Structures are given as structure tokens and as C-alpha cells.
Amino acid sequence: MNNVLVFDPRDGSWRDGPTLPAPRAFAGAVVLNGRIYVAGGFDGARPSNSLFVLDLSAAEPAWTTAAPMQTAQWVGSRHRG
């Protein structure tokens, strides 16, 4: 799945966000300093070590790809290999 919904806690509303660069299931996500980070996950065939970043303060927010993790990981598991 690569569709993204963004929740605005100020008014309790959801809106469509920019599509992830690649589909992910079971990815970890966190918001830090106005950016959403989506790390790892499962791409449908294998665990991923990817890191996608969305800067919510940008005039036109778009996902960028950051340095990958050393080990592929997904929520609840860790893959070595």
C-alpha cells in the first residue's frame, strides 16, 4: 500500500497526503520536527531497509528517500540476510 492519510490534530480532520515512493506494509512511522519518517516495512516480496521522509512544512510536501537502514526491518520483526 502506498497511499497516505495525514491527520491534523488541531481540527481532527484527515486529508490525503502524497503517495509513498514505493508500497509498504508493516513499516514503522514517526513524526519528528515537522517531518514524517517511514522506515522499513515489507514491500510485498521481502523486508525493506528503506527510509522515506515527508517534510510537512514544505510549500508542496513530497517524499524523499534518505539513507537506508543497515538491516531490513518491519514492525514486530527484524530480518538478517
Tell me, yes or no, whether 35 lies in a domain: yes
| Structural domain range at position 60 | 4-75
Specify if 81 maps to a domain.
no
Judge whether residue 74 has pLDDT over 90.
no
Q: Per the structure, how many domains does the chain have? A: 1
In this predicted structure, the answer to whether residue 80 has a pLDDT above a threshold of 70 is no
Prediction pTM value: 0.83
Ranges of beta strands (E only) in the chain are: 4-8, 13-17, 28-32, 35-39, 51-55, 63-65, 73-74, 77-78
pLDDT digits (tens, 9 = 90+) for 8-43: 899 999 999 999 999 999 999 999 999 999 999 998
70: in domain: yes
Tell me if 80 is assigned to some domain.
no
pLDDT in tens, 53-66: 999 889 999 999 99
User: Rounded mean pLDDT of 64-76?
Assistant: 89
